[in-house]
Amino acid sequence: MKLLNGKISGGYELKQFKGQPSQELIVQVLPEHLYIPLSKTDTKIKPFVRTGDKVSAGQIIWQDDDSVSSPIHSSVNGIVESVKKMDYLEQQVSVVKITSTDSTELEKVPGFTNDWRKLGGKDLEKIIYLSGTSSLGSSGIPTGFKSSVIEPEDVQHIIIHSTDSEVFNPDVSVFLKDDGVKKFTEGLSILAKIMGKASIHIAMSTNTSTWFQVIDNAVSDNLSISFHKTKAKYPQSHDSVLAKTVLNIDIPANYKGINKGIVILGIQDVCHVYEAVVEGKPLTEKIVALAGPVFNDNIHLSLKVGTLISDISTGRLLLEDKEDIRFINNSVLTGKKSNFESPIGRNTEVLIALEEKRGQDLMFFAKPGFKKDSFSNTFLAKILPFKKTINTNLNGEQRACLSCGFCQNVCPAGILPNVLFPYVERDRLDETAVQYGIFKCIDCNLCTYVCTAKIPIAAYLKEGKKKLLEDAYVKEDDFINSYNLIGLKAGRQQVGCSPMQPKEQTNEAAE
């Protein structure tokens, strides 16, 4: 087994927070209604079903072969009640509402087989595409069916990660216990056959790296894997940071690993590949971790895609008023907000529930801070083994920059956020901000999190990049040529992000 130690520049270890998901896995009761989100791209393709239609679990209800996308399936057997717009991850998308029945029958993916090694790469690609599994990962799994912005032969590296770098992380043992290791390692072999030129890398934090030997013992003899032990420091799981840590490859801000020929997937994603090819399962189910101090029991749920947060949360919340709760997908610092009546989509792995704190804690600055996180040594939680809590309160009012240097210390891009944000704040943007590296910012929001003056630094930098692009201080061709980026052909930019199409992120919680 080849084991390498990955090093991250900057970053911050977000540890010991109350509300971490346990290893417990429960099957969610099938709700009466499911709401299947359709493609978020600006496409005119309508769903294949209409109100009143009878649908089967696993049936394709939306597909667009002309855009970068993957088919979407009905998660249940039932009747289509409506096709309408609703809020989903901070935007309006079309949603198919289905009234479910008790039937457990599942429409299998055409071509699946236990004897998959006899299939050619194109046959495997088709199964993965038709299953919808090709939508997973940071930018989709490349197939010959426009499921990603590059083709399988363009892939140079595959990185599978479980870096434990977020405030709340799913427990990797939930996916790898029992027959999980077999699914995972065989899924790796399937991906290796499709993307034959790619080297395979598995990156795990020191907390989960005990699985390295188990995986190495189970993997096929002809499959070469590099194992990388990483520090559990945020934002290790971001594409640009992961590529730098594992491969020493630079990716410009707002682009993805896919634009450098790197496919980045989670462990559950690889297991879904196995289930699609070997078992014929379309992507209709997910395992989602319930995290955060507002859930009364932080477990993992096996649920149908399209299950509403309200159905998941019933009987599982410590707060009664939903207005006092903020639900966030996947990441406290960059995840999208969801409302109480939002559905769970195909790329949700962690559902976080935080208390929506609006008021100021009385004399908070004079308290020892047994349960508060701090980059400095301000609070005792920094040195004592107490479980820390997190909510949406800033715990202080914005003040003038103190030049403490905390944002510089944690910045994974190696820039000077405290020097850059005043250019935006005072509307004095010019080439100087570009020279100081504003376009290296990856929008991880860590600078805002550690700021003792409560300045929304990340928001300023994001606004600055947008204005500089509008004023043509930087052009997309500069990035494409400098970094030899791929997958940016006209009409195929839905998945690969670029400065011309900034990746929208939100700063959900601060120190």
Summarised one tens digit per residue, pLDDT across range 340-390 is 999 999 999 999 999 998 666 555 554 444 567 776 666 555 555 668 888
DSSP state, residue 344 = P
We report the CATH number of the domain holding residue 180 as: 3.40.50
Over residues 102-129, the pLDDT tens digits come to: 899 999 999 999 999 999 999 999 999 9
pLDDT reported for residue 491: 37
Does residue 1 carry a pLDDT above 50? Answer: yes
Least confident of 184-188, 406-410, 463-467, 476-480: 476-480
Question: Looking at the domain assignment, is residue 436 inside a domain?
Answer: yes
Q: Are residues 163 and 90 in the same domain?
A: no
> What's the token pair of residue 376?
């400095």
Q: Please check whether residues 264 and 205 belong to one and the same domain.
A: yes
Question: What's the whole-number mean pLDDT along residues 420-444?
Answer: 93
473 pLDDT band (50/70/90 cuts)? confident
CA pair distance 396, 367, nearest whole angstrom: 13
Is 451 within a domain? yes
User: Which of 232, 264, 279 is the last residue before a domain boundary?
Assistant: 279
- Per the structure, the complete domain to which residue 162 belongs is given by 109-279
Burial annotation 10-49 (CB, 10 A radius, 16+ → b, else e): bbbebeebebbbeeebeeeebbebbbbbbbeeebebebbb
Residue 263 lies in a domain: yes
496 in any annotated domain: no
pTM listed for this prediction: 0.92
Closest CA to 266 of 154, 349, 199: 349
> What's the domain count of the chain?
3
Q: How far apart are CA 386 and CA 286, in angstroms?
A: 32
Separation of alpha carbons 74 and 57, rounded Å:
5
Q: pLDDT for 34-89, tens place per residue? A: 999 996 555 567 899 999 999 999 999 999 988 899 999 999 999 999 999 888 99
Whose structure tokens read 């994001």? Answer: 462
Contact call for residues 73 and 87 (beta carbons, < 8 A): no
Looking at per-residue pLDDT, the higher value among 480 and 200 belongs to: 200
Residue 491 is which amino acid? Answer: G
Query: If 0-12 CB within 10 Å is exposed, 13-18 middle and 19+ buried, where does residue 178 land?
Result: exposed
Co-location of 124 and 273 in the same domain? yes
Range 12-33 average pLDDT: 95
Is the residue at 67 inside a domain? yes
Q: Residues 287, 272: contact at Cβ < 8 Å?
A: no
Q: Are residues 268 and 304 in the same domain?
A: no
User: Of 262, 279, 296, which one is at a domain's C-terminal end?
Assistant: 279
- Domain membership of residue 12 (yes or no) is no
Claim to verify: residue 163 and residue 310 sit in the same structural domain: no
pLDDT band at 207 (very low <50, low <70, confident <90, very high): confident
Rounded Cα distance between 511 and 496, Å, is: 31
The stretches of 426-508 forming alpha helices (DSSP H) are 431-435, 446-450, 457-470, 476-483
Same domain, yes or no, for 54 and 77? yes
CATH of the domain at 428: 1.10.1060
The pLDDT tens digits of the residues spanning 136-176 come to 999 999 999 999 999 999 999 999 999 999 999 999 999 99
In a domain, 504, yes or no: no
Token pair belonging to 3: 């084991």
Determine whether 408 is exposed, middle or buried from the number of CB atoms within 10 Å of its CB (0-12, 13-18, 19+).
middle
Cβ atoms of 455 and 447 closer than 8 Å:
no
**Pair (271, 146) in one structural domain:** yes
Cα dihedral across residues 80, 82, 88, 91: positive or negative: positive
State yes or no: pLDDT of 204 exceeds 60: yes
DSSP 345: -
Per the prediction, the chain carries an average pLDDT of 89
How does residue 220 score in pLDDT terms, banded at 50, 70 and 90? confident
- Asked whether residue 234 falls in the same domain as residue 300, the answer is no
Instruction: Looking at the structure, tell me whether residues 53 and 78 fall in a common domain.
Output: yes
Q: Parallel, antiparallel, or unpaired for β 225-230 and 2-5? A: parallel
Cα separation, 28 vs 42, in Å, equals 32
- For every residue of 41-92, which 3-state class applies, written as one string? CCCCCCCCCCCCCEECCCCEEECCCCCCCCCEECCCCEEEEEEEEEEECCEE
Query: Of 109, 112, 96, whose CA–CA distance to 54 is shortest?
Result: 96
Q: What does the DSSP 8-state code read for residue 501? A: B
Distance, in Å, from the CA atom of 101 to the CA atom of 80, rounded to the nearest integer, reads 11
My answer on whether 274 and 289 are in the same domain is no
* Lowest-pLDDT range of 20-34, 267-281, 363-377: 363-377
**412 confidence band (pLDDT: 50, 70, 90):** very high
69 and 128 belong to one structural domain: no
Query: What is the spatial distance between Cα 396 and Cα 298, in angstroms, rounded to a whole number?
Result: 29
- β partners of residue 317: 295
Whether the CB-CB separation of 231 and 8 falls below 8 Å is answered with yes
- Note whether residue 247 is domain-resident: yes
Point out the domain boundary residue: 307, 330, 355: 355
Instruction: Give the count of beta carbons closer than 10 Å to the beta carbon of residue 51.
Output: 12
Verify that 132 and 253 share a domain, yes or no.
Answer: yes
